[in-house]
Structures are given as C-alpha cells and as structure tokens.
Amino acid sequence: MRRTLFKVLGGPDGLTPCFGGKGDWPPPPNWTKPVRGELIPGQNGYHLCFKNGLIHWIGPTIWIAECGKEYVISRDVPAVVARTARLITRVESWNKTVAVLYAAECIREAAKVAGYQPNDAVFSMISQIELVADEALTGSDSAIDVLESIQSDARKAMAKELINAKAMVVFGIERLAAAISNDLPWDDIYYAMGLAWPSNETSEMAKWRTDTLMSFLNLQGIK
C-alpha cells in the first residue's frame, strides 16, 4: 500500500488500544498475530487509518504503521482493517499540549464559520488558552487561574446566546479550558473540539482539519 497508514494508541508505552480492541500492540518493528475469521470494520481485524481518517481517531499516541497484504477499506468507520499490522515510527511531535493547540485552532476556525467577528471576545479566549496551555498542563497555578477565568467568561457568553452554532463554539471553549485546567483525559480535548465544530461538516472543512493536523504534526508531505 502506497498511502501512509496511522494507528492511534494509548497507555504508558503508547501500545494500548484506546478505541476498542484487546491486548497491547507489539513494539516496532514486530508484526501483530494474524486475526482469524472475516475482516469486518468495527468488529474484527486490526484497525488503521489514512491521514484523512486521523481526525476521527485522535488520542494519546500516534504511530505511522503498516498493514499486511490482506485488508479491507471501510469508508463508514473510516478505517483500514487488516489481517495483521505493525507499528513503524512514533510521531514524536504529538503530545497533549499540541493536541490542545490543534483543538484551539479548530475552535477558532469554527468561530469564523459560525459568524463571529475578528474583534469578538471568543478569539481572545482562544488565544489565552493557547498561551497558557503548556504551563497549565504542568500544574501552574497562575495558568490554571487564567483558564478558570476563561470558563467563567464563556459561561456568561453562553447565557447570552441561543442554542445555535455560536453557542456551541463558546461551549467548546469552556470545555477545552476545563479539560486543561483539570488535566482531564484526551477524550475531553476531542469532545471540546467536537462541540464547537459544525455538525454539517463539508468535505472542504474536513480537508482543512486534516491539513491543519498534518501541519501540527510536521507531516505536511505525507500522502
């Protein structure tokens, strides 16, 4: 297969499934044991993805991976489901701070799509999150104070909005600030981004998310 494949895992060694599946993956360059039976997306087989599917599987550790010769491609999951697979290289540019910055950038784009103007307060909130994210994740009290202030401001802004795209952007900002200040699991970072992101995502918007993620990972040349 000529296109690059990715696998997202978790755990202390970055080898534990975090979207279902049983048992740790073997460290590179070892192959997994072949699965038996029919390869069925979401049910049976080793699940990997192309770069355009990676935005749906964000987690603690991203690997560049390889699959064996027997596989099926699912567009519904979206995933490549293989009989056997192996991890090749860990994407070292990916960590929790980068995940937060990526989520913040997606929320910024969602705010533009929702109709917020450049001088609106939501953009200042997003910028503040970006400025203090790294310090907050290391337990800085002053950074956490900033994030708690952002949560308060976001809640006040939500109270003024109808339940619409703009309100969901502010909700995403509030949840992202909460996730960082409380050092919550990775799922909460992804959840915050998902709240803000338009539910009627177009192919152009999905491409923007993919291209932006590849930029954050320093993998712009990946096919």
110 and 50 within one domain: no
Answer whether residue 73 shows pLDDT above 80.
Answer: yes
If one counts the domains in the chain, the total is 2
* pTM of the shown model: 0.92
Assigned domain for 19 exists: yes
Contacts with 126 (C-beta within 8 Å, 6 or more apart), sequence order: 104, 107, 108, 111, 173
Query: 37, 66, 90 — which closes off a domain?
Result: 90
Residues 105 and 180 in one domain: yes
pLDDT in tens, 7-23: 999 999 999 998 888 88
| pLDDT, position 1 | 63
Mean pLDDT for the stretch of residues 50-76: 92
Asked if residue 58 has pLDDT above 90, the reply is no
- Per-residue pLDDT tens digits for 142-163: 999 999 999 999 998 888 776 7
pLDDT surpasses 90 at 42: no
Same domain, 153 and 190: yes
Q: pLDDT per residue over 166-214, tens digit each?
A: 999 999 999 999 999 888 788 899 999 999 999 889 999 999 999 999 9
